Amino acid sequence: MTSIPKHGRSSAELLSELEQRKTHDTKWREGRVFSLVYHVPGTAGEEHEKLMQRAHALYASTNLLNPMAFGSLKQLESDIIEMTGRLFHCAGAVGTVTSGGTESILCAVAAYRDRARRTKPWIRSPELIVPQTVHPAFDKAAHYFGIKLIKVAVGADFRVDVRAVAAKINRNTIGLVGSAPQYPHGVIDPIAELGELAQKKKIPLHVDACVGGFVLPWIERLGRRLPLWDFRVPGVTSISADLHKFGYAAKGASVLIWRSIDAMRHQIFVATDFPGGLYASPTLLGTRPGGPIAAAWAALSSFGEDGYIALAKTAIDAADRLRLGIEAIPGLSLIGKGDATIVTYGTTESVEAAADTSLIPSLMRKVRGTGGEEIYAIADRMEARGWTIDRQQKPASIHLTVTANHASVVDEYLRDLAMSVAEVRQDPSLAKSGTAPMYGMAAKMPLRGFVASQVRKVMAEMYSKGAPS
């Protein structure tokens, strides 16, 4: 049992304990994790980390709940929004800094709902049409805000089927969503076609660029051809993009950018009858910590265009090397062959099975062996070698979000991967141990509600009183 100590402890003692406590966390500075931390490598990374800490500390006690009290913090936010708007080809864009991609998405979905309430009051059961590969933050938003999420299948290229989207639009539709790129396979949805559809039907379109927003523009400037995904597409209404991903800002900072204030005004919440006075907030959070905003401003300003282009080149080159190396390992295949620096792969069997079933869920489909247990066993062997592995389903696969920090570990990763594959092929029983059976079962389980209840139980136990730390 832990309680607040009767007598305070010294700063030196506390900082020493904090350093000790994180000893066994993932080795993110060494490039051993691929999605949780976005780190700049080398001496430049060390200097950048110090800058983030200093900038964060300077504004650690500020609160954007009251922008009139902290005018300099509001100006930092305005600078970030203007820089981002110009990056996304809309000089007049408006928006807010949020605590992360999930809050950006929640704010966008809530605003689309409230827009519909004001402009289409006959809608009683609002529906949002999204790709099947959309981030779960949209499921969370739909759950919180009483919206029905209409999920549309993707094609063999893992991009949403625009004709299928058009077929789902009805009088209850409050908006469309596309991803740039979608997280599981790293491909950009056909935003231009979705934009045309949105304009034709006079409904808003949100682009989830939480992963790609601060890397796709630089990849494009490196000369790589990418589909249009930002405000160059006339039908795009709003874009979410995470500063703390490829913006290399401190956690947690994201932006929600709107084409115009007329579109954004539905995001603003106002309460007028509170005895404490008028209350207005443009985001889900009331208290809005200044530290992440100041650090994000410092990140954008310190790297500049040249710095971000250099980081993007290092990251995309590393991703290309990983793709080539993975394809060279017998029995493994890439999934999606993405537009950005996301690399996803599975066993050839699992990839072919996914192409055959097109990811369309059905309780009636016969469960087939898809190589899932094998790729999860490979993941187990990689973790035994010190890598933090992101496992995926539909199809069973391993996911890598490649940053500049991973350039130096590509050869080591591929060497360990080849050895892990060989071990699993030589000893098939490995697919029956470790986490492989659990992930294999979850990927095939037709009763998703049962899976959800079990996961919820695990999370509840984790947060229960007396749970082990």
pLDDT at position 313 is: 97
Q: Is 408 left (phi over 0), alpha (psi -120 to 50) or beta?
A: alpha
Distance CA 280, CA 196 (A): 34
Structure-token match 């491909």, residue found: 187
For residue 364, what pLDDT is reported?
A: 29
Q: How far apart are CA 350 and CA 352, in angstroms?
A: 6
Report the pLDDT value the prediction gives residue 441, as an integer from 0 to 100. Answer: 47
Q: CA–CA separation, 439 vs 426, rounded Å?
A: 21
Place of tokens 């006339």: 234
Say what the pLDDT of residue 440 is: 46
pTM for this predicted structure: 0.88
Q: Where exactly are the structural domains of the chain?
A: 56-301, 304-460
pLDDT score at 363: 31
CATH code for the structural domain at 304-460: 3.90.1150.10
Cα–Cα dist 205/233, whole Å: 10
pLDDT at residue 452, rounded to an integer: 59
Distance from C-alpha of 237 to C-alpha of 199, rounded to nearest angstrom: 10
Distance CA 174, CA 368 (A): 37
C-beta separation of 175 from 204 below 8 A: yes
Q: Are strands 397-401 and 173-179 parallel, antiparallel or unpaired?
A: unpaired
- For domain 56-301, the question of CATH label 1.10.10.60 is answered with no
User: Rounded to an integer, what is the distance from CA 2 to the centroid of its chain?
Assistant: 34
pLDDT value of residue 337: 80
Q: List, for the chain, all residue ranges whose pLDDT scores fall below the cut of 70.
A: 1, 354-372, 431-469
Predicted confidence at residue 210, as pLDDT, reads: 96
